[in-house]
A and B are shown apart, each in its own frame.
Chain A
Amino acid sequence: MRICVNISTCVGGGQCASSAETVFTQDEQGLVVVLKADVQGEEAEAARLAAFLCPSRSITVEE
């Protein structure tokens, strides 16, 4: 599964970094950073949850 983020709409809520901590982190300003763009299994599951939780809908996942 492939992950894309839109940094221009990110509001730094941190839901991604707390629900999929091996896939996402936050930069110095608190905005989203993708650690792994291609994920499988449990990480894909966590990334899907992160995309669902993202309040600004800045995360998209492509199966």
Chain B
Amino acid sequence: MTLTYRPSASDDQLPAFPMARACPFSPPPAYEQMREERPVAPVRLWNGKKAWLVSRFGDVRKILADKRVSNNILHPGFPVLYAARSAVFKQYDKPPYFHFMDPPQHTENRRMLTQDFSVIRVKEMEEEIQSIVDGTIDEMLASSGRSADLVHAIALPIPMRVIARILGIPYADVVPLNRMMSGTAGFSQDPQEAKNAYARLNDYVSELIARKEVNPSTDTISRLISDQLHPGKLDRPALVRLIVFLLIVGHETTASMISLGMLMLLQNDEQREQLTRDPSLMQSAVEELLRYLSIVHLTTCRVAIEDIEIGGETIKAGEGIVALVSSANRDSSQFENPDVLDFNRGAKAHVAFGFGVHQCLGQTLARAELRITLNSILRKIPTLRLAQPFDDLKFKAYINGVQSMIVAW
């Protein structure tokens, strides 16, 4: 095995993080070596700060559930992974999104939304999701020619239309909103452009809230206005940020899973045919794709607020931590033959949605969207194929995904 992680005694020579992938479907090869040799390993970030990578399944779960870590992105020791992200968050003196708060504030804010993403609520929405999926696929099939970019024709619009339906965003606003949000995440992003993208989103959501106050409906935004805004539990800027956050986390991750998952299926004939023959296998296939692809591989960052002994190292209070969920999901002590995509594995115990109290709130919805979308694509477009050389595909690095992907049928 090539030595890709070279731990050094000197803090000046720490390896740089994030690390490069060798294959778009798999985490950087160095993670495997870390799990074996240095399960809690120091690295250097873009801003010169040191952070600790936690790479084993058990340790990742342990650290993400540990009360001695904080998710406060404004803590000076918190590992922020790129410049534009730092610029966006530096505008605030308190964490702007509840995800970056700690209990009890985190719990209180999260519970304003738990009812919208419960198992029962998602089940009730399944028919509606199916009709959004069917409509979106039919639109692609009706467009000119027999080819399209699957990312922009299917993967991005579906989750956006679903979250828009939950929030109560007019259907006509979905496409412009998708364009607005394309500038909100990415390593190479210009910091000023990122701030502008968030500002535009804030303006849109503020206006939407004002309209909903005049014309309330049964949607989530209307409920948050009457239950949280009007009684004074959330002020107006906090409500705006809550909605902006839901829009961001509610679409890009699921979109990436749809496109990268579909790409994986197009590259693996045997697995695709297995699913075409038996759509009931899709539920476990979705779990396996979530585990295997682990697209949200860099957002589980924390800062230690006390000294923590883990994996033979001491993480000191104030030091940054990155819990490598993509590495945990390939840990052979938890998953037999972890690098094999196996839909019969029953891989529900993965950490693709994170772990601890900040674990993804929308995971039940995401699972339903993925199952329905992938099944519908396979059923409605059995001749679907990748219509460009695989090696020409361009990938995204922060949330792992494919930028565009020309398919034909």
Residues in B neighbouring A28, C-beta threshold 8 A: 115
CB distance from A51 to the nearest CB of B (A): 11
Residues in A neighbouring B122, C-beta threshold 8 A: 14
CB distance A30 to B114 under 8 Å?
yes
CB distance B355 to A12 under 8 Å?
no
Q: B-facing mask of A18-59, CB < 8 A → 1, else 0?
A: 110100011011110000000000000000010011011100
CB distance from B314 to the nearest CB of A (A): 24
> With the chains together, A51 CA to B111 CA distance in Å?
20
> With the chains together, A56 CA to B66 CA distance in Å?
10
| Chain A residue at minimal CB-CB distance from B364 | A14
> With the chains together, A31 CA to B120 CA distance in Å?
11
Contact (A12, B349) CB under 8 Å given A55-B359, A56-B356, A57-B65: no
CB distance A13 to B361 under 8 Å?
yes
> With the chains together, A53 CA to B349 CA distance in Å?
6
CB distance from B168 to the nearest CB of A (A): 18
Contact (A55, B361) CB under 8 Å given A12-B110, A12-B117, A19-B348: no
Q: Which residues of B135-183 are within 8 A (CB) of A?
A: none
Contact (A29, B111) CB under 8 Å given A14-B364, A56-B356, A57-B65: yes
> With the chains together, A54 CA to B288 CA distance in Å?
19
Residues in B neighbouring A13, C-beta threshold 8 A: 353, 359-361, 363
- Count A-side interface residues using an 8 Å CB cutoff: 22
Contact (A55, B117) CB under 8 Å given A11-B110, A13-B363, A14-B364: no
A3: interface (CB < 8 Å): no
> With the chains together, A17 CA to B121 CA distance in Å?
12
Contact (A14, B118) CB under 8 Å given A55-B357, A56-B356, A57-B65: yes
B86: interface (CB < 8 Å): no
Determine which of B110, B119, B349, B355 lies in contact with A17 in the assembled complex, contact meaning CB atoms within 8 Å.
Answer: B119
CB distance B357 to A56 under 8 Å?
yes
| Chain A residue at minimal CB-CB distance from B354 | A55
CB distance A17 to B356 under 8 Å?
no
Residues in B neighbouring A11, C-beta threshold 8 A: 107, 110-111, 114, 357, 359, 361
9 contacts between A and B (CB under 8 A): A9-B357, A11-B107, A11-B110, A17-B118, A19-B348, A26-B118, A30-B114, A55-B358, A56-B359
Residue positions of B touching A, CB distance < 8 A: 65, 103, 107, 110-111, 114-122, 348-349, 353-361, 363-364, 367
